[in-house]
Structure 1
Amino acid sequence: MIGTSKRLITEEKVKNSSCSHCGEQNTLIAKVFSKMFILKILPFVYGKSTELSCSNCKKVYDEKDTIDVVTQRRIDIIKDDAQHAWFLYLGYGFIALAFIVAIFKD
């Protein structure tokens, strides 16, 4: 019940790019995840992560794999456009509400 987790935000093809393993065009898929810390039932979102894979040869690219600069820029744009779900901010809202109640309690 307490720990880190990730949740899929979006999955999108990286246009005008080719897989360095099989050489096929427009087969790279970028998946963007919300990284979050779960405290019982309260989520606290703290960032995004991406995962890159090829739909043709099924290769999953690691962070250590070299990706050309143009493809990396396209992946960064997809990552920047992805939005966290609104309910992932409930933990922050609950903490802020508890803080306000504690201040005005007396």
Structure 2
Amino acid sequence: MSTNPTPSSFRLELPRHAIFTVADIAGVGIECQSGCVWLTLDDDPRDLVLEPGERFVGDIHRRVLVSAFEASRIAVSHALPAAMPMPPQRHAAAASPARLGPHGLSPA
């Protein structure tokens, strides 16, 4: 069994004023295919506006909010799931009854 997930790509229709969140934008591409979207990265002074045909690829581990100025369609590429199963741990700390085992969930 491989522990490396395969990247995925998908398209998303966003109604006017809808917000889509990507938990970690590093290596993820967002392309505006129609409409107009505004990208806001956590702890980053830049605000990016994408119009049809424009693309942004994240190069740092940050959350990004994609807000639709109008009804828009975006393509998201190389996105990984927010929660991945953790590989089995092989040290004594994992067997401690005082520790909770990983269940592939990410914090909110």
- Please state which band the TM-score falls in when normalised by the shorter chain: under 0.3
Structure whose CA Rg is larger? 1
Relative to total residues, which structure has the larger helix share, 1 or 2? 1
Q: Which has the higher contact order (CA 8 A, sep 6+)?
A: 2
- Length-normalised TM-score, structure 1: 0.28
